[in-house]
Structure 1
């Protein structure tokens, strides 16, 4: 049996998950990473994407996150998300609304840095939309 660690997924609205898990795959800003028990300490930014939680017995659950950061230690991982929901509860209209809001930010950007960040976020959201909600 694989070792477990405590994983917490927290959004501003609520604590979505707090339990012992075998592994968590997170969409880090530097790339996807798998967290397991006794992981080296690290903090990483989180980009919009899917988190996959693997419980004992290989039971899986997926969550969609819209940015945030993760604090990883040898005995746990706490992910503070800007917004998060279970994949099975994802609302297509909400995702489309978020994409339109970011498109408006791109159009209204007053400087290059703001525009570049908004364009990057828009790209991440549209990639997420394509992966989760095929037409």
Structure 2
């Protein structure tokens, strides 16, 4: 049996996951990363992308728009700004996420980071809905 770690994913709207996972793939702000049991303690910000957890129940994918991930040797806790299971994502919901991000971009103090997040969301829309 593969080693596991506790994976928890929450957004302001709801708790989306609490499972024993063998790996969690995270869209980190500085690049994609995979957390597994025994990972060095790390905290990273999230960029818009697909977060995946692999467990005995299979692979679950979530669209995240940002937030933070805290990784330890025994667990991954993700606090997402917005998170939606990929199988619940609709074109209308993706458009709403992009509209929300566009509003945030307009008032952001770090325009480069905001523009990058917006570009990530547009690329994510293309990847999810063609």
* TM-score (norm. length: structure 2): 0.90
Q: How many residues align?
A: 130
**Are residues 103 and 83 of structure 1, via their aligned partners in 2, closer, same or farther at CA, if it must alter by over 3 Å?**
closer
Displacement of 1:74 in angstroms is 0.5
Counterpart check, 1:100 vs 2:111: no
Separation (CA, whole Å) in 2 of partners of 1:66 and 1:33: 16
Structure 2: gaps spanning 5 or more residues: none
Q: Pairwise mapping of residues 91-130 of structure 1 onto structure 2 (< 5 A)? A: 91-103=90-102, 106=105, 108=106, 113-130=109-126
Displacement of 1:50 in angstroms is 0.4
Q: Pairwise mapping of residues 34-113 of structure 1 onto structure 2 (< 5 A)? A: 34-56=34-56, 59-103=58-102, 106=105, 108=106, 113=109
Q: Deviations over 1:22-73 (max 9, x none)?
A: 111010011110110111100001111101111137x211111110000101
Separation (CA, whole Å) in 1 of partners of 2:39 and 2:116: 29
Greater CA radius of gyration, 1 or 2? Answer: 1
Secondary structure in structure 1 of the residue aligned to 2:35: strand
Aligned Cα root-mean-square deviation (Å) = 1.8
Match of 1:22 in 2: 22
Match of 2:2 in 1: 2
Secondary structure in structure 2 of the residue aligned to 1:96: helix
Separation (CA, whole Å) in 1 of partners of 2:111 and 2:84: 27
Counterpart check, 1:131 vs 2:127: yes
Secondary structure in structure 2 of the residue aligned to 1:22: strand
